[in-house]
Amino acid sequence: MTGVRSSLYLLIDFGSTYTKLTAVDLAKPAVIGTASALTTVADGLVHGYREALRRLTEKVGPLAFARRLACSSAAGGLRMVAIGLVPELTVEAAKRAALGAGARLVGSFSYELTAADLDELLALKPDLILLAGGTDGGNKTVLRHNGALLAASPLAAPVILAGNKTVAAEVEATLKQAGKLCYRVPNVLPALDRLNIEPVQAKIRQVYLERIIYAKGLAEVEREIDGILMPTPAAVQAAAERLAAGPGDGRPGWGELLLVDVGGATTDVHSIAEGRPIKPNVYAQGLPEPKVKRTVEGDLGMRVSAAALLEQYTPRLVGELAGLPEDEVIARVQARTVTTAYLPDSPADERLEAVLGYLAVKGATERHVGKCEQVYSPQGVCYLQEGKDLTGLATVIGTGGLFLHSPAREQILAGVLPAPDHPELLKPQAPRFYYDERYLFSTLGLIAKEFPDISFCLLEKALKPVQN
């Protein structure tokens, strides 16, 4: 194992509902204790943190930690807006970059912004703007226009500029002359067939660490820890990448995998997979897919977003699946939306919880995977693939509070499997199911880069198979 000067680390996830603590002994390595308390946004995160720490101390006794590291999705997470040229190209490239960095995308805009667009954008109150547009040497007009409109607006959020390099420096100057905080990075879509999302993601992480955590009132709790390193989704993704890649010493990891993180407000899906066409006569179309991809669905959650989930799938369908009358489904879903710490209180409510979880996983996976459609060409029948082919994935992992409490893990994770109503979707065909037994992916992701062998070992221990 990698040598460390002191072996005890406290890993913290300031979640939107709960603040979760994981005490780790890096020398063993082992998780020596976990605890949680309700996240206290209104009164300051430090109060929920102290309560969780008190509960942890009750379990394992007082500990002298070498470091206390955190991630956070509290106070709305990292709220971003993406602006680009064409929805299917530069806007999509910007969205992928933002989501891959752990942001919560609250809006996206394409073409030349109008006054109404600007009003809508400002009303979203983003923490960060990602301004893209045009391939290198391509369209200049839209990036100029949008940069000038933002410069003349009352926008206070920092802007990351990742558009056409021919005009990017000019747009940067326009924004800075207007007093806007602007960071210029290489074009996120330098050519139609090439994504370049890593520089954007690195800058998002830097701005998050330098500015956003203070803007969200997290500075007080930072005085009691060693730092908030990243948004929570980025930590979860770091853990998934580590598990897939291995311990970093030449030994193999788990290989390509899909991870579903079901939360109260959103359901996130992370795939660590190439996803290229694997069958004859199948041709990729659209933007190239990143190997590490995250999508997030704000209308597919178990608490805050439960009403939106119900709207998508209807009380009738949910009731049929859960064996409950429609009026009871509506009432129980409403109870979930107003009490984020809600826990099922009866067998009927547990059935409903499992159905909602299944539908959240199903909907989020359907939006994440690619699709393959038959077309006719002069050479005969062929197939066009848009997005990732994940049919051959061998591993699917569930994480989140749902998998801690619900005994119906197999039923919930079955949402990733193919369904007759959407045969064109390239969902995993016959994966093995695992679940994060102690809800550790977000916290262990905090040490995935610094201690690859230790984090890999602890992640493997955290996962339990689900019979499927």
The CATH number of whichever domain residue 129 belongs to comes to: 3.40.50.360
CB 218 within 8 A of CB 231: no
Q: Are residues 295 and 342 in the same domain?
A: yes
Q: What is the pLDDT of residue 285?
A: 87
The better pLDDT of the pair 53, 263 is held by 53
Which tokens in the block code for residue 245? 């890649």
Q: Are residues 220 and 207 in the same domain?
A: no
Q: What is the pLDDT of residue 33?
A: 96
**Element spanning 57, H or E:** helix 45-60
Query: Over 60: is that where the pLDDT of 253 sits?
Result: yes
Q: Are residues 220 and 204 in the same domain?
A: no
Q: How many residues are given for the chain?
A: 468
Q: What is the pLDDT of residue 1?
A: 46
Q: Are residues 289 and 381 in the same domain?
A: yes
Instruction: Please report whether residue 426 resides in a domain.
Output: yes
The 10s digit of each residue's pLDDT in 351-379 is 999 999 999 999 999 999 999 988 887 77
Q: Mean pLDDT for the chain?
A: 92
**Domain range holding 34?**
8-75+216-225
Kindly give, in sequence order, each residue whose CB lies less than 8 Å from that of residue 51, ignoring residues fewer than 6 positions away: 19, 37, 38, 40
The better pLDDT of the pair 413, 46 is held by 413
Percent of the chain with pLDDT over 90: 71
Q: Are residues 369 and 424 in the same domain?
A: yes
Which among 197, 225, 253 is the end of a domain? 225
CB 466 within 8 A of CB 448: no
Kindly give, in sequence order, each residue whose CB lies less than 8 Å from that of residue 442, ignoring residues fewer than 6 positions away: 13, 15, 20, 71, 232, 235, 236, 239, 399
- Report how far residue 25's alpha carbon sits from residue 8's, in angstroms, rounded to the nearest whole number: 5
CB 180 within 8 A of CB 151: yes
Q: Are residues 360 and 382 in the same domain?
A: yes
Q: What is the pLDDT of residue 468?
A: 56
Say how far residue 436 (Cα) sits from the centre of its chain: 16
- Report how far residue 359's alpha carbon sits from residue 365's, in angstroms, rounded to the nearest whole number: 10
Query: Over 60: is that where the pLDDT of 347 sits?
Result: yes
* Residue ranges in 223-297 assigned as alpha helix (H): 232-245
What is the number of other CB atoms lying within 10 angstroms of the CB of residue 134? 26
Query: Over 90: is that where the pLDDT of 53 sits?
Result: yes
| Range scoring the smallest mean pLDDT among 149-158, 308-317, 375-384 | 375-384
Which tokens in the block code for residue 178? 């207007």
Q: What one-character DSSP code corresponds to residue 134?
A: S
Q: What is the pLDDT of residue 451?
A: 97
**Structural domain total, the chain:** 3
| Range scoring the smallest mean pLDDT among 60-64, 74-78, 369-373 | 74-78
CB 297 within 8 A of CB 364: yes
Q: What is the pLDDT of residue 216?
A: 61
What is the pTM (predicted TM-score) of this model?
0.88
The better pLDDT of the pair 62, 41 is held by 62
The 10s digit of each residue's pLDDT in 272-327 is 999 999 888 888 888 889 999 999 888 899 998 899 999 999 999 999 999 999 99
The residue among 270, 337, 335, 271 whose CA lies nearest residue 299 is 337
Q: What is the pLDDT of residue 2?
A: 47
Say how far residue 438 (Cα) sits from the centre of its chain: 19
**What does the pLDDT average to over 32-49?**
87
Which tokens in the block code for residue 346? 């009866």
The residue among 101, 98, 69, 67 whose CA lies nearest residue 231 is 101
Instruction: Please report whether residue 48 resides in a domain.
Output: yes
Instruction: Please report whether residue 278 resides in a domain.
Output: yes
Instruction: Please report whether residue 285 resides in a domain.
Output: yes
| CA dihedral of residues 399, 249, 273, 24 (deg, nearest 10) | 10
Q: Are residues 165 and 298 in the same domain?
A: no
Q: Are residues 376 and 459 in the same domain?
A: yes
Q: Are residues 261 and 383 in the same domain?
A: yes
- Report how far residue 293's alpha carbon sits from residue 343's, in angstroms, rounded to the nearest whole number: 31
- Report how far residue 160's alpha carbon sits from residue 84's, in angstroms, rounded to the nearest whole number: 12
Q: What is the pLDDT of residue 148?
A: 98
Task: Give the range with max mean pLDDT: 33-42, 58-67, 277-286.
Answer: 58-67
Instruction: Please report whether residue 230 resides in a domain.
Output: no
Band of residue 3 on the pLDDT scale cut at 50, 70, 90: very low
Q: What is the pLDDT of residue 4?
A: 42
Instruction: Please report whether residue 2 resides in a domain.
Output: no
Which among 225, 249, 276 is the end of a domain? 225
| Range scoring the smallest mean pLDDT among 143-147, 354-358, 463-467 | 463-467
Q: Are residues 243 and 365 in the same domain?
A: yes
3-class DSSP state for residue 91?
A: helix
The 10s digit of each residue's pLDDT in 400-459 is 989 988 999 999 999 999 998 899 999 999 999 999 999 999 999 999 999 999 999 999
Q: Are residues 45 and 87 in the same domain?
A: no
The 10s digit of each residue's pLDDT in 181-224 is 999 999 999 998 888 999 999 999 888 877 777 666 677 788 89
Band of residue 239 on the pLDDT scale cut at 50, 70, 90: very high
Instruction: Please report whether residue 363 resides in a domain.
Output: yes
Query: Over 80: is that where the pLDDT of 233 sits?
Result: yes
